[in-house]
Structure 1
Amino acid sequence: MKFVVAKLVAALTLGLFVAPLDADAQPTGKVQRVGLLGLGSAAAVADANGPFAAFRAALRDRGYVEGRSVLIESRWAEAKPERLPQLAKELVDLKVDVIVVGTVPTARAAKQATSTVPIVFVAIGNPVSAGLVSSLARPGGNATGLSFQVTPEQAGKELEILHELAPKANRVAVLQDPTFKSYAAPYRERVQHSW
């Protein structure tokens, strides 16, 4: 699962590099600078089985060579959230092309540090309620990414698609980790109001 998320984040991040290119344009050969802002420690990057290993593998899969076509600048708060604003500013001062974050505190620090450098967040709970984006459908601003929070709107859309695929279905089951009780609530709410 971590590998899939890392591939999605790498694709989002790399999409920011190539999106401005005209279809007939040739890449400039510029070394892209990716800023990683983390709340934890630098050991997370060194973990061969961790999410950053998968992120780096996804970059390689897309033809990026670390040190030649992409530079990864990492800043770690070492579990001291008060350091995040300064670390985010350091990344902006390094003129990174994109900042990748994985928590609400790191995303907020990045948003406070810049309104122009794109910010890609990884699996943040609810980026709308965290004040990171205006909506999931149209994030606006300079932040985008993946959310693992199921909102009533998402649940409604998923149930709508399910109903189109199986119009005679009258029971819906939601499989979830029992420690995440909030995930079934949006589905229950939508089913009670829709079906």
Structure 2
Amino acid sequence: MIKVLIYEDNQQLREGLGILISGSIGFQLTGAFGNCAEVEQQLDELKPDVVLMDIDMPMVNGIEGLRKIRAADSDVRVLMLTVFDDNENVFEAVKAGANGYLLKKTPPARLLEYIADVMEGGAPMTSSIATQVLNMVKSGNNAGTQDFDLSAREMDVLKLLVNGYSYKMVAAELFISIDTVRSHIKNVYEKLQVNSKSEAVAKALKTRLF
């Protein structure tokens, strides 16, 4: 059972998402709120597996809410669910530790698949968001390129993480075992001096590794 917590200030959408989650086999709605001003307390009380987080909310916006979540819990998965697909919001969300970035127009059945995917180690992004990520990688707007002494295989693994692949998908794409994927990712984390997939993706984007 995947426990889901929702932050969305649009009441109609919030209620619709709540009905979708609570009415789907394998999912449990732990709470739904119109803002994330009390996110730390709610996270501690409700203990969700996945948080669906809007960006444009009153009092505390979703990216700041995400930062609060990461300060309190590095393990809970956070999927940004928003109308914004511009570079700035995508990059800020990734830097703040988002596990995925989805548009609100995502079909309900697909949203459930994305939630399940993020629980398996994926970093789901809708297609237009993935395009924005690729544009950020290609643009010269960030810091100078560094290689961090990553091997060719470690670079392959990191590129797939940036593109939203789960560990299982990376293993299938590169024809290696999941244990080998984990070993490569451990080395990537050590070389980039990060502690999570979202931090690794953010650093890859910021330093123009590709």
TM above 0.5, yes or no, is: no
TM-score by length of 2: 0.37
Question: Which structure: larger Rg?
Answer: 1
More helix by share: 2
TM-score by length of 1: 0.40
